[in-house]
C-alpha cells in the first residue's frame, strides 16, 4: 500500500460509510450478532472474525473468518474485506488493532481501548473528565494493600486491573485477616491490582452514550440493573430513581463520551447511593448487556446507533417508546423459557405484557452462559415483574 493510500485511510471526521459498505467485526459473539442484524436491516454487509465456527455473529454475517483473535494473517484478511472495522469485546490485542488501523479503517481508534482495558487508566480518565469514581488505590504489594485496607475500612474490593468480567478477578475483603489470602489469590493473575472502597449503593444504573466522528452525541435512557451472582439479571427502564438523578447520570455519560473523544458507543456503569450520589464503576466501549432493552423499547437500538456512529451517519432518536424490563436468559433458563413461550397460557397470564424473545444461536446451553434475553414491554414495569414471576423460569434466582 502506498503512503498516500494509507493517509486516505486514516481517521477522518468527514468520512461517511453509507449502507452498502462492508463492516468487519472483530469477535463473533452475541453483541456482534445483534450489530449485524441491525446493520443488515439498513443494507450493510458484514464479515466477522471468531475462532469458533458458526459463531453467533457468523450465523447472520455474510462471512466468518474462523481464526484466533490474535492471528495477524486473519486480521489482515478481515481488513481487506472490510470498509469499516469495529470490535465487540474490549480486550483486543494492541498489535492487532494497529495492524487493522494501518490496513483498514477503525474509526474508534485504539486510545479508548487502551484506556478501558486497564481499571487504573480507566479511573484516571474518568476523573480527568470531571466525573466521580469510588475512592481507589493502586496496589503494588501486600504491604500497600494492608495499608490501603486500613485507610478505606472494610469491606473493600480488590480487583485485577485487567482481564476481569462478570465479577471474575475480584475479591471482597471483609477484614484485615483476609488481606494475605486476597493478595495471594489475585496477584496470581500477574497484572496490577486496584483496591476500591466498597460503595453501599442503593441501585446500580448504567447509561449508554453514542458519539460520531462529526461530534454528535446521543444518550439512551438510564437503566436500573440487578445482578445475580455478578451476572446481569434485569435491566429496568425507566430506572426507579428521581428525575434529577437520572438527568445527572445522563449528563455524566455525555461528558465522558465528549471528554474521552469516544467514537461509537460507551456504556457507563454507575453506583447510586441513598443520598443521591453517583459514582462511575466502569466503562465498556461497545454495546452493553444493559442496553439490550433498547432493541424494542427505544426508537433506535444501541446496535443501530453504534453502526450509525462508526459510519458517521446522523445518530438516531433515543426516545423511550415503552416501559421495559430486560431479563437475561442463561443456559439453565433456555428449556423452561422455550416451554413457556410455546404455551398459549403465557399470552393470557399477564395481559398487556409483550415478550420479545432474543436467542443468540449458541450451541451449548451451559449453566451461567448468556444464551439470550427477553424484553418485556408493558404499561408499567410491575406488569413485567408479574410476567417473570408467573413464568417460574427465574424462580431459583428470584428467591436469592
Ligand atoms: N467498589 C464497589 N463497591 C460496591 N460494589 C462493587 C464495587 N465494585 C464492584 N462491585 C459489585 O461487583 C459488580 C462487578 O464489578 P465490576 O467492577 O463491574 O466488574 P465486572 O467487570 O465483573 O463487571 C458490580 O456490578 C457491583 O455489583
Ligand atoms: Mg461491570
User: How far does residue 170's CA lie from ligand 1's centre (Å)?
Assistant: 8
User: How would you label 77-101 residue by residue, b for 16+ Cβ within 10 Å and e otherwise?
Assistant: bbbebbbbbbbbbbebbeebbebbb
User: Domains, the chain, ranges and CATH?
Assistant: 3-107 (3.40.50.20), 135-197 (3.30.1490.20), 201-391 (3.30.470.20)
Q: Which residues partner with 25 through β-bridges?
A: 48, 86
Give pLDDT, residue 4.
38
List phi, psi (to 5°) of 171. -145, 120
Residue ID of nearest Cα to ligand 1 atom 21: 165
Give pLDDT, residue 400.
52
User: How far does residue 283's CA lie from ligand 2's centre (Å)?
Assistant: 8
The stretch 223-238 carries a mean pLDDT of 96
Atom of ligand 1 nearest to the CA of 279: 1
Task: Determine if residue 166 is labeled as part of a ligand binding site.
Answer: yes
User: How far does residue 275's CA lie from ligand 1's centre (Å)?
Assistant: 19
Give pLDDT, residue 9.
52
Pocket of ligand 1 (CB under 6 A): 134, 157, 164-167, 196, 198-199, 204, 227, 230, 269, 281-282
Pocket test for ligand 1, best of 132, 136, 167 (most atoms within 8 A of CB): 167
Give pLDDT, residue 343.
87
> Is 22 a residue whose pLDDT tops 70?
yes
Task: Determine if residue 159 is labeled as part of a ligand binding site.
Answer: yes
Task: Determine if residue 264 is labeled as part of a ligand binding site.
Answer: no
> Is 5 a residue whose pLDDT tops 70?
no
Residue ID of nearest Cα to ligand 1 atom 15: 167
pLDDT tens digits for range 39-62? 999 999 999 999 999 999 999 999
Residue 380: which pLDDT band, with cuts at 50, 70 and 90?
A: very high
Give pLDDT, residue 2.
36
Give the number of whichever ligand sits closest to the CA of residue 91: 1
Give pLDDT, residue 379.
96
Pocket test for ligand 1, best of 163, 233, 281 (most atoms within 8 A of CB): 281
Give pLDDT, residue 347.
77
Residue 10: which pLDDT band, with cuts at 50, 70 and 90?
A: low
The stretch 147-176 carries a mean pLDDT of 95
User: How far does residue 351's CA lie from ligand 2's centre (Å)?
Assistant: 34
Give pLDDT, residue 21.
98
The stretch 184-190 carries a mean pLDDT of 93
Task: Determine if residue 199 is labeled as part of a ligand binding site.
Answer: yes
Q: Is 230 exposed, middle or buried (0-12, 13-18, 19+ CB in 10 A)?
A: exposed
Least confident of 77-81, 161-165, 274-278, 330-334: 161-165
User: How far does residue 199's CA lie from ligand 1's centre (Å)?
Assistant: 9
Mean pLDDT (the chain) is 94
Integer distance in angstroms from the first to the last C-alpha of the chain? Answer: 58
User: How far does residue 282's CA lie from ligand 2's centre (Å)?
Assistant: 6
Give pLDDT, residue 13.
76
Residue ID of nearest Cα to ligand 1 atom 14: 167
Atom of ligand 1 nearest to the CA of 166: 22
pLDDT tens digits for range 99-139? 999 999 999 999 999 999 999 999 999 999 999 999 999 99
Atom of ligand 1 nearest to the CA of 168: 22
Task: Determine if residue 119 is labeled as part of a ligand binding site.
Answer: yes
167 vs 114, higher pLDDT: 114
- What the block records as the C-alpha cell of 399 is 428467591
> What residue ranges in 259-396 does DSSP mark as E strands?
264-272, 278-284, 323-330, 354-359, 370-378
Task: Determine if residue 282 is labeled as part of a ligand binding site.
Answer: yes
103/10 Cα distance (integer angstroms)? 9
Q: Is 1 exposed, middle or buried (0-12, 13-18, 19+ CB in 10 A)?
A: exposed
Residue 7: which pLDDT band, with cuts at 50, 70 and 90?
A: very low
Share of residues in the chain with pLDDT > 70 (%): 96
From residue 226, how far is each of 242, 326, 387, 395 by CA, in Å?
Answer: 18, 10, 17, 15
User: How far does residue 268's CA lie from ligand 2's centre (Å)?
Assistant: 9
pLDDT tens digits for range 281-318? 999 999 999 999 999 999 999 999 999 999 999 999 99
Task: Determine if residue 204 is labeled as part of a ligand binding site.
Answer: yes
Residue 399: which pLDDT band, with cuts at 50, 70 and 90?
A: low
Amino acid at each position: 500500500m502506498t503512503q498516500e493510500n494509507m493517509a486516505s485511510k486514516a481517521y477522518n471526521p468527514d468520512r461517511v460509510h453509507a449502507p452498502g459498505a462492508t463492516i468487519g467485526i472483530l469477535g463473533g459473539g452475541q453483541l456482534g450478532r445483534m450489530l449485524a442484524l441491525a446493520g443488515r436491516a439498513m443494507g450493510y454487509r458484514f464479515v466477522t472474525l471468531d475462532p469458533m465456527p458458526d459463531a453467533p455473529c457468523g450465523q447472520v454475517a455474510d462471512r466468518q473468518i474462523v481464526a484466533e483473535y490474535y492471528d495477524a494473517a486473519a486480521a489482515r484478511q478481515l481488513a481487506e474485506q472490510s470498509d469499516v472495522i469495529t470490535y465487540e469485546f474490549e480486550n483486543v490485542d494492541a498489535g492487532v488493532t494497529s495492524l487493522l488501523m494501518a490496513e483498514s479503517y477503525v474509526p474508534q481508534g485504539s486510545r479508548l481501548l487502551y484506556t478501558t482495558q486497564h481499571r487504573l487508566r480507566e479511573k484516571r480518565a474518568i476523573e480527568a473528565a470531571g466525573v466521580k469514581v469510588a475512592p481507589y488505590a493502586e496496589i503494588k504489594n501486600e504491604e500497600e494493600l494492608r495499608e490501603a485496607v486500613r485507610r478505606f475500612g472494610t469491606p473493600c474490593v480488590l480487583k485485577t486491573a485487567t482481564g476481569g468480567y462478570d465479577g471474575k478477578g475480584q475479591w471482597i475483603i471483609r477484614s484485615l485477616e483476609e488481606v494475605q489470602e486476597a493478595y495471594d489469590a489475585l496477584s496470581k493473575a500477574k497484572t496490577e491490582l486496584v483496591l476500591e472502597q466498597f460503595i453501599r449503593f442503593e441501585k446500580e444504573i448504567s447509561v449508554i452514550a453514542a458519539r460520531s466522528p462529526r461530534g454528535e452525541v446521543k444518550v439512551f435512557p438510564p437503566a436500573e440493573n440487578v445482578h445475580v451472582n455478578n451476572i446481569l439479571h434485569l435491566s429496568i427502564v425507566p430506572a426507579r430513581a428521581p428525575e434529577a438523578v437520572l438527568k445527572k447520570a445522563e449528563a455524566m455519560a455525555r461528558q465522558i463520551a465528549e471528554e474521552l473523544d469516544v467514537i461509537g458507543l460507551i456504556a457507563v456503569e454507575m453506583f447510586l447511593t441513598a443520598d443521591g450520589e453517583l459514582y462511575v464503576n466502569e466503562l465498556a466501549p461497545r454495546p452493553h448487556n444493559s442496553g439490550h432493552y433498547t432493541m424494542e423499547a427505544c426508537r433506535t437500538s444501541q446496535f443501530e446507533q453504534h453502526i450509525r456512529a462508526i459510519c458517521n451517519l446522523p445518530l438516531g432518536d433515543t426516545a423511550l417508546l415503552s416501559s421495559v424490563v430486560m431479563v437475561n436468559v442463561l443456559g439453565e433458563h433456555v428449556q423452561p423459557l422455550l416451554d413457556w413461550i410455546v404455551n398459549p397460557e403465557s399470552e393470557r397470564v399477564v395481559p398487556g405484557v409483550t415478550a420479545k424473545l432474543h436467542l443468540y444461536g449458541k450451541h451449548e446451553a451451559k449453566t451461567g452462559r448468556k444464551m439470550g434475553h427477553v424484553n418485556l414491554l408493558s404499561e408499567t414495569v410491575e406488569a413485567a415483574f408479574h410476567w417473570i414471576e408467573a413464568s417460574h423460569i427465574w424462580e431459583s434466582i428470584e428467591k436469592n
